[in-house]
Amino acid sequence: MFRKTALIVLAGCMSVAMGEKAWAKADSTGTVKFDYDIRLGAFLDNGEYNSNYKAPQTLSGAYVTPAVGLRFGGGHRIMTGISFLQQFGQKPFGETPDFLAYYNYTGRVFNGFGGLLPRAEMKGYYSRALFSDSVGYFKHTLAGALLQWEGERGGIEAFFDWNSEDIKTGKESFMAGLAGRLNLGRRGLFNVGLAGYMYHYRIGDKAVSAGEAPNFLVDNVMYHVYGGIDLGGITALDVLSLDVGIVGSLSRGRIEVGNAGGWTPRAGFHARFNLEWHGWGIEDTFFAGKGLMPLWDVYGSQVYWGDAFYNAPVYNRTDLYWSKTLAERLSIRAALVFHQTAGGLDFCQQASLLVHLWK
């Protein structure tokens, strides 16, 4: 299956490249130009947990998302490619790669995508209560649309992602969300922001009949509102920022579950502090409130995309890290991560590498 898909994508990429000259005069505002966008990354996340919220695990692998296409009309482009992930220690080509095919327009303040596009194009600030680290490791494709506006005082992005659909079982899932930030004050030192999404998950009638779940329709809303200050631009430090706010969720199992037809609200206090100097930094995140994932024991990460530690009533995460970007193309990060809950201290080591080439 992988070889067949890879050959089809390769043939498509070659056709696009060979067709550049043939379409060179297709747009009256300028010539059509060849374009490419390639991301190659690797990650290691070794979680040494002894916790009620997370099992010990090691996540590792490498991925590549090459795409080629045509740029035309002073800001338009169409791209096609492939997104492939290989977990370390597993059988090569064991997973079917994702196909990439998308349209992109880039203007002065607006940037828009539609189709099957790299999730890495998302630029908003999302707390790990909304998206855990593993989302960045394993979910590299967004199927739908991504719209972004950027101005002098901040920006906003909105997205729609159709995650899955299986006609045979009736399983389907999609997500719609946004993230925005507004900088305040003469120097923009202060800011307010928000991020959130609604996730709809239908596991399918057959799964319910087989006893895999008590409910075949689940909705989950996650949100984060905050205010903060960023002093990095007026100090000798590269980063010096603090934001505080509220993070919360609204979950419901629509059919045959205790809260059928009603929402279960959860919320708590959320704060993040970040200090960095010459690549060396500390990031500390604190949460206090009722666990944000009331249906976790039934659905787990199928419904909740955030870090499972946010099920704890009090949780603190501290990252001691080193991060470096070389030649605007290569990014490296290594971190020692400490997770503190009432149950004790858990430890994790993380390392990641990303090479991004584009034209």
How confident is the model over 125-140, as pLDDT tens digits? 999 999 999 999 999 9
Q: If you search the block for the tokens 């996340």, which residue do you land on?
A: 45
Mean pLDDT of the chain: 88
Q: pLDDT tens-digit profile of 97-125?
A: 999 999 999 999 999 999 999 999 999 99
Residue 9 within any structural domain of the chain: yes
Q: Which residues of 223-254 are buried (b: 16+ CB within 10 A; e: fewer)?
A: bbebebebebeeeebebbbbbebebbbbbbbb
Residue 232 within any structural domain of the chain: yes
Question: Does the structure show a pLDDT above 80 at 68?
Answer: yes
Residue 263 within any structural domain of the chain: no
Number of structural domains (the chain) is: 1
Residue 169 within any structural domain of the chain: yes
> What is the spatial distance between Cα 137 and Cα 209, in angstroms, rounded to a whole number?
33
pLDDT of residue 212: 62
Which residues form the domain of 66? 2-248+300-308+349-358
Which helix or strand (DSSP H or E) is residue 206 part of?
helix 205-209
Tokens (6 digits) for 67: 């795409």
Which region among 171-175, 219-223, 317-321, 345-349 has the lowest average model confidence (pLDDT)? 171-175
Which region among 64-73, 158-167, 203-212 has the lowest average model confidence (pLDDT)? 203-212
Residue 48 within any structural domain of the chain: yes
SS3 category, 232: helix
pLDDT of residue 211: 63
First CA to last CA distance, the chain: 31
Which helix or strand (DSSP H or E) is residue 13 part of?
helix 2-18
pLDDT of residue 205: 65
pLDDT of residue 19: 40
pLDDT of residue 27: 46
Residue 104 within any structural domain of the chain: yes
SS3 category, 310: helix
Average pLDDT, integer, range 267-296: 97
Strands (E), the chain: 33-48, 57-72, 76-87, 98-106, 110-118, 141-151, 154-166, 171-184, 190-202, 217-230, 239-253, 264-277, 280-289, 314-326, 330-341, 344-358
Question: Does the structure show a pLDDT above 70 at 38?
Answer: yes
SS3 category, 54: coil
Residue 289 within any structural domain of the chain: no
Residue 137 within any structural domain of the chain: yes
Tell me which amino acid residue 276 is.
E
More confident call, 231 vs 206: 231
